Structure 1
Amino acid sequence: MNYPYEVRSSEFEGKRVLVTGGTAGVGLATVKRFALAGANVLTTARDSTDQLPEGVIFVKSDLATAEGTNLIAKEVLSQLGGIDIIAHVVGGSSSPAGGFSKLSDEDWQKSLNLNLFPAVRLNRLLVPEMLKQGHGSIVHVSSIQRILPLYESTIPYAAAKAALTNYSKSLSKEISPKGIRVNVVSPGWIGTDASNVWLEEIANTNKITVEEAKQTVMDALGGIPIGRPAKQEEVAELIAFLSSAKAGSINGAEYVIDGGTVPTV
């Protein structure tokens, strides 16, 4: 399995894990991380991939719909027999550029449907199972755009991620006394395959090199002090740590992984 870091194969042995959006980018890296560590993993996305590790259960669904989340909750309970860890990775932006005036109600609703409601709905369906057993861990993947929005193109995405982070804090206060921890991972720019394609498009459009395109993006973000986007496996490692017993006292927290992009404490 292609994963750049050494993983202890018994770390999550026997743990039942759901990873949403697990067929590409951070989601796929997270699936690999848990599978390497001995977990029983179920993942879901709109499209499959041949890169999933052996033994990982894939269920095709559209989590932007209530029907999709209902299906996944049923499959988790029937195929895994319960749930110990939920990593909500699914998300993204498809809003048109041009600022607030270009955004329709549909644009706003699509972003909320993809970036907020999948976590809300799946938690509502699966957290009761965690409460019955008295333990569990939930990690929501938000974004630094919740505090550093890009008004030119991703206003609804940033607002939805802000809502997800706020919801996460509320949820942690309610269920952590009953044994379930809730935390947030907020990445900045991540070097995924999709972002590499995007850089090539920028380079071709502006007749510059890919490296120059990368620098243009970093400049637009206000700079990344470490000089590069995060690796998807680095984000997966943080998700795994927060899900592990080693993070047993971490609850209701947000961990930013952005190479220093956000310029304030």
Structure 2
Amino acid sequence: MTSTARELDGKRALVTGGSRGLGAAIAQRLIDEGATVLAAARSATPDTPAGAKFVTADLRTPEGVRALADTALEQLGGVDILVDNAGAARVFGEGSGTIPDEEWRDALDINFLAAVRLDAALLPQMRERGSGVIVHISSAVTLDPPGQFLHYAAAKGALSTYSRGLAIEQAPHGVRVHAISPGNVASPGADVARRDLAASFGVDPSTVESKAPLGRGGVPGDVAELVGFLVSDRASWITGRDFIIDGGEFPRG
């Protein structure tokens, strides 16, 4: 008799930035494997998975993060899988010296501190159960950061470093922590950033598209597949790594 069980049956997941692009693809991948998913974002879009619960959230403030954590615990009864995917920043064509203080603060709030705050709010119930998985969506731009986007790259770099430390701290409590650093993946936010970077260099947008040795740019499903593996029991002996998924494009240290 063939089993119809899926590997995430019974799991409860929260995906931030889950209304479009990477977040929507990740939410759908988790749903496909049986998880109950709460997607959080500023607003729903036509790309928000129909099978997900949705909640409006503002992750730029401690109060907004706390409200989301409370809503997730109320609606899901607990969170087994947390995917910190929310992220955004504007390109400043004249370089890092023209990035205003408020943009640096905003980049840190949404790309780094939102994850720190949400993790802190949801970790206690994971530790109490002795299980849980946290995935931070960082960025391969940290490997070759342009000055025009340095506030974003710096915030994501902080997220990657934090992920490693949190993984070591939480491992004895049964909680696994991963970072994923996507390269040139097609998504609404990334597409705008690439267009604006091209404009700042005065070049055609095609020149900042993926030059991956594998011969194509990434799609959200590529990242979602990696997330699906890392949150499953198949990855039960993996924690504390930053997985670069870029088709081999970015330089390694």
Shorter-chain TM-score above 0.5: yes
Partner of 1:240: 228
Cα RMSD of the aligned pairs, angstroms, is 2.5
2:212 matched to 1:224? Answer: yes
Q: 1:150 to 1:226 in 2, by over 3 A?
A: same
- Match for residue 140 of structure 1 among 136, 139, 142: 136
Structure 2 stretches lacking a partner, 5+ long: none
Partner of 1:106: 102
Partner of 1:150: 146
1:109 Cα shift? 0.3
- Match for residue 168 of structure 2 among 173, 176, 183: 173
C-alpha offsets along residues 3-32 of structure 1, whole Å, 9 cap, x if unaligned?
A: xxxxx8612111000000000110000011
Partner of 1:213: 205
Aligned residues: 250
- Match for residue 61 of structure 1 among 57, 64, 67: 57
1:227 Cα shift? 2.7
Q: 1:9 to 1:229 in 2, by over 3 A?
A: farther
Q: 1:196 to 1:172 in 2, by over 3 A?
A: closer
> Share of identical aligned residues, percent?
40
Partner of 2:19: 23
Q: Distance in 2 between matches of 1:57 and 1:178?
A: 28
1:115 Cα shift? 0.3
1:82 Cα shift? 0.5
2:181 matched to 1:186? Answer: yes
1:53 Cα shift? 3.2
Q: Distance in 2 between matches of 1:104 and 1:200?
A: 21
1:224 Cα shift? 2.0
Q: 1:197 to 1:113 in 2, by over 3 A?
A: closer
State the AA in 1 paired with 2:15. V
Aligned to 1:47, the other structure's residue is in SS state: coil
Aligned to 2:102, the other structure's residue is in SS state: helix
Q: 1:97 to 1:205 in 2, by over 3 A?
A: closer
Q: Distance in 2 between matches of 1:58 and 1:71?
A: 14
Structure 1 stretches lacking a partner, 5+ long: 1-7
> Would the aligned equivalents of 1:142 and 1:187 in 2 still touch at CA under 8 Å?
yes
